[in-house]
A = this chain, B = another copy of it.
C-alpha cells in the first residue's frame, strides 16, 4: 500500500498501480480544506509501507499548517511508514513560509522530499527534479534512475543550473501572477454564495465548492465547457472526497481569468 490523499493528483493511483502497488486513498473533509487528521490516516495506514502527501497541494491550493504536518508525522512514525513528500510548489506559498515535514523531529530518516523545477521555475516540460532523503535510500534511487531514465539531459541541467542561479527573484517572478490572480478571484467571488472558494494560500489552483448548485463537479464542468467554452477540472477526477467541487487553474492571463471566473459564477448563480 502507498497511501495517497483524497483528493489527490489525478495520475497518482495509476502510476502506483503500474508498479504493482495498491494505492489506498486517505479520506479527507472539505470543511477542513481537505487537510488530513491523524485519525483519518490512522484508519487506513495498517499494513502500509509509505504515505504520500503534497503540500502546497494540487488540486486544492491548500498549504498544510504545522499542526497538520505534525499529525502526518505522528501517523508516519506510529505505522513505521516512509513519508513521500511532494513539495514541488514549495516556492509558491503566499502567506507564511514553506515547512517541510522532513524538518519535524524523527522525520529526516524516513522522509523523501520530491523537488522539481517544473512549477517554481515554470519548466514543466523539462522533467528536472530531485529527491532529498537519507543517503542509503538515495543510493538505491540513483541505481534505479540509472536503469530507467539514465539521467537528466545535459542541456536541461544547464537550464536548471542557470535558473537556480537567478535565485529568489526569478522564483517570485514566476509565482507573482498566481498571488495576483488569487486576489482577483476573491473580488469576483465576493458577495455571492453559489460558488465558495476553499481557503488556499499556495500553488496555482482554486478549489471551488459548487454543491449549492445541485450539480456534481462533473456535471457542472461539462455544462460550463459546452455552454461557455471554459475548461475546469471536476473535483471527482481527484477522488470521491472532492465531489461537488471544481479545480480552477489560475494559468491564463489576468483578464481572461477574471472574465472566465465571472462567467462561471454567473452560471452557478443561474443554477441555484
Contact = CB atoms under 8 A, between A and B. Distances in A.
A245 to B, nearest CB: 23
A165 interface: no
Contact of A147 (B15, B125, B148, B154): B15
A147 B20 contact: no
Residue in A11, A127, A144, A154 with the greatest tally of chain B CB atoms within 10 Å: A127
B18 A150 contact: no
A126 interface: yes
A44 interface: no
Interface residues of A, number: 20
A16 B22 CA distance: 20
19 contacts: A11-B146, A11-B147, A11-B150, A14-B143, A14-B147, A15-B147, A15-B148, A18-B144, A18-B147, A18-B148, A19-B19, A20-B20, A125-B153, A125-B154, A125-B155, A125-B156, A126-B153, A127-B149, A127-B153
